[in-house]
Amino acid sequence: MGKPTGFIEFDRMDEDHRDPAVRIGDWNEFLVQINEGDLQSQGARCMDCGVPFCHTGQTIDRLAVGCPVNNLIPEWNDLVYRGKWKEALDRLHLTNNFPEFTGRVCPAPCEGSCVLGINEPAVTIKSIERNIIDRGFSQGWVLPRVPEERSGKTVAVIGSGPAGLAAADNLNQLGHEVTVFERDDRIGGLLMYGIPNMKLDKDVVQRRITLLRKEGIHFKTCIEIGVTVSADDIRSQFDAVVICVGSTAPRDLKIPGRSTNGIHFAMDYLRGSTASLLDGTNSPISAKDKNVVVIGGGDTGTDCIGTAMRQGCKSVVNLEIVDRPPESRADSNPWPQWPSIFRTDYGHAEVKTIFGQDPRSFNVETVEFIPDSDWNLTALRTVEVDWGLERPGVAPFSPIAGSEKLIEADLVFLALGFTGPEPGISEAFGLEIGPRSNILANTSDYETSQPGVFAAGDCRRGQSLVVWAIREGRQAADVCDQYLGTFA
């Protein structure tokens, strides 16, 4: 805990954001760090709550409760309050391989489960976490940890996103020789190409990869298992395999006009934008002077909005088929569940600043894409929906008569989530899959239908958070280590 009376004396303070009108002119991170004195006051707000829920890492009614990696939050809050930053960093690294990632992109289920949050604004846990690790790097406290002994066992990790990197990190520290295979041209997976630079600077990602390489992990890029290298070759060369390829098959919107030019999956857009930024080239999909419509909310939708704003779009509309969330917790969404409430993210704030209003419209279904004679997109046909009127066997909502509308559009980005991992990896290894195409493996041993082949992260659990991927990568590493130990 922090100061016994800190939660009474100090108000919550969030990290400031750079001026939206200024930040859309560059690709730099939009957060502004809190100064040290204020951070110590924020740590002081961590109260002696008796039973802290912030680090429980559970799910209740499919909603997150507490930190999935079980961060020792009260402990490092107290250490920050006392000015013991190095000790706070050591506590943070006990449970989280990459706090510089979660401190930037995690939605902070820990804060949603903070006991203080029952009747007061929660402790600013995420901001404190980010500042602990950033201070650690700036002070030179984060150094390579090279294992003193090697086991003689070899592990192939397929995929270099947060789950793959976490599994590789832990397996390497346990003394195994680890090689990470990535089909893209850069290491990082979702962290590198799925999250834009203004939210997670790629220098931050590369800094950690460089550290992992110095610790002895081998990285190989532009290698796709089942395409450039066979699964049999991988299995013959390594004692165990951990598959962490994510959930990358995008959900489509199969309506009339879908083949119209100008309609793209969100991740194709984000990947191309980040790659062009890093390579110093023009983005393959540019929103400059275009009327942009983003279909689907969530982080990916917001990232498309923020990217389009930086490219100089003419307008942005964001369509969501669901109801507008309430301003405060509904009775059906009690503490300590993650609060499903209305939030304004960075991209929404930027649109409101530049164009005068929030880009989001709720309860809207897109029913048709309308092309011109050259099959280029000109507009969308939409209809409002009523979630109180189900269509049994068709949809849990009904269209509202007379609510049709045309929305001018030159570009559409589909941010509708993901259906599961792409089938190539499971086919290559001959793995059993579930009804949603996820690789079948349970959380007791993470082992797939093939002995010695493990699966973790979104390819196993489905689309989720970076912090859940880190948790699964860590746990899969532990059971993989036990498997390797049987051959000692």
At residue 479's C-alpha, the angle toward residues 474 and 482, to 5°, is: 130
Return the structure tokens found at 39.
């951070």
Using one digit for the tens of pLDDT, what is the confidence trace for 7-25?
A: 999 999 999 999 999 999 9
SS3 content of the chain, % helix, strand, coil (to 5): 35, 20, 45
Using one digit for the tens of pLDDT, what is the confidence trace for 98-156?
A: 999 999 999 999 999 999 999 999 999 999 999 999 999 999 999 999 999 999 999 99
Residues whose CB is less than 8 angstroms from the CB of residue 209 and which lie 6 or more positions away in sequence, other chains included: 165, 187, 188, 219
Residues whose CB is less than 8 angstroms from the CB of residue 399 and which lie 6 or more positions away in sequence, other chains included: 365, 367, 383, 384, 385, 386
Return the structure tokens found at 270.
């984000």
Angle between helices 85-95 and 125-138 (to 10 degrees): 110
Using one digit for the tens of pLDDT, what is the confidence trace for 181-239?
A: 999 999 999 999 999 999 999 999 999 999 999 999 999 999 999 999 999 999 999 99
State residue 242's pLDDT score.
98
Using one digit for the tens of pLDDT, what is the confidence trace for 405-434?
A: 999 999 999 999 999 999 999 999 999 999
Strand positions, DSSP E, 10-162: 16-17, 31-32, 58-60, 63-65, 154-158
Q: Are 104 and 200 in contact (CB under 8 A)?
A: yes
End-to-end CA distance of the chain: 43
Query: 151, 458, 413: which is closest to 300 by C-alpha?
Result: 413
Res. 488: pLDDT tops 80: no
Cα separation, 431 vs 446, in Å, equals: 13
Using one digit for the tens of pLDDT, what is the confidence trace for 266-283?
A: 999 999 999 999 999 999
Cα separation, 162 vs 459, in Å, equals: 12
For the chain, domains (ranges, CATH) are: 6-138 (1.10.1060.10), 154-248+419-485 (3.50.50.60), 252-416 (3.50.50.60)
In b/e form, how buried is each residue of 221-250, taking b as 16+ CB within 10 angstroms? eebbbbeebebeebbeebbbbbbbbbbbbb
Q: Are 243 and 454 in contact (CB under 8 A)?
A: yes
Query: 134, 132, 138, 122: which is closest to 14 by C-alpha?
Result: 122
Using one digit for the tens of pLDDT, what is the confidence trace for 353-367?
A: 999 999 999 999 999
State residue 58's pLDDT score.
85
